[in-house]
Amino acid sequence: QKEVEQNSGPLSVPEGAIASLNCTYSDRGSQSFFWYRQYSGKSPELIMFIYSNGDKEDGRFTAQLNKASQYVSLLIRDSQPSDSATYLCAVRGYGGATNKLIFGTGTLLAVQP
Amino acid sequence: DVKVTQSSRYLVKRTGEKVFLECVQDMDHENMFWYRQDPGLGLRLIYFSYDVKMKEKGDIPEGYSVSREKKERFSLILESASTNQTSMYLCASSLWGDRVRETQYFGPGTRLLVL
């Protein structure tokens, strides 16, 4: 089992709809969770992170965390064509001398005009 | 704003060549990381460093070495490039401190082709 799993997609949504991106992780001791956006040929850029159970909102983006289910999601409201990108979920474990992140392979989102 | 820069956007090298990839950050971050990204495999950690002259192996260190002589600069070295090292290489940095909130910021990436 992969440590961080994401559906590779593509996830296709119409412009203006809500896009829902999901991520599951295997390490129950994981402490913090990050969502990065990566446009084709570019490097990942941080959207937001979450470390407490529940929802965290930032503009059109909402991250949701459920540690009991080992599940984190990203909702994008009012999706725009410019949101079309690969979304990477990253998880930080607990313990050790480093703050290593484990990345999922990403979900490709396509927002149709 | 955090700025992480990488020395080259694209590189073409021949098998057996020694390759240097440079990364510089201007935010006085203690931690620096080198990843490679391949289709279907995601980002994989090669090496990281949490202080000058300190280095730790990541998940796939074979065939690579690193150097950190100054806090702002972290170099990745391919001692003898091979075709299976063709990839996108990404450098990242983060500020040491809050273990939960610590965030990695990425450079633009170097796309390396080994012929």
Give just the sign of the alpha carbon dihedral B62, B90, B70, A48: negative
Q: What is the pLDDT of residue A1?
A: 59
For B31-81, write each residue's pLDDT tens digit: 999 999 998 888 999 999 999 989 999 999 999 999 999 999 999 999 999
**Residue A53 confidence (pLDDT) above 90:** yes
| Residues A101-110: tens digit of each pLDDT | 899 999 999 9
CB contact under 8 A, B99 and A99: yes
- Whether residue A100 and residue B102 make contact (CB cut-off 8 A), yes or no, is no
Q: What is the pLDDT of residue A98?
A: 58
CB-nearest to B56 from A8, A36, A98 is A98
- Interface touch A43/B43, C-beta < 8 Å: no
Q: Check if the beta carbon of residue A48 is closer than 8 Å to that of residue A62.
A: no
Of A8, A34, A99, the CB nearest to B31: A99
As to burial, measured by CB atoms within 10 angstroms (0-12 exposed, 13-18 middle, 19+ buried), residue B63 is middle
Q: What are phi and psi of A94, to 5 degrees?
A: -115, 140
Given a cut of 80, is residue A99 above it in pLDDT?
Answer: no
Task: Report whether pLDDT(A96) > 60.
Answer: no
- Asked if B101's CB is within 8 angstroms of A51's CB, the reply is yes
Q: Give the number of other CB atoms < 10 A from CB of residue A109.
A: 22
pLDDT score at B24? 97
Q: What is the mean pLDDT of residues A19-28?
A: 94
B50: chain A residues, CB-CB within 8 Å: 97-98
Measured distance CA(B98)–CA(B96) in Å, rounded? 7
Going through A9-70 in order, the beta strands assigned E by DSSP cover: 11-14, 19-25, 32-38, 45-50, 54-58, 61-66
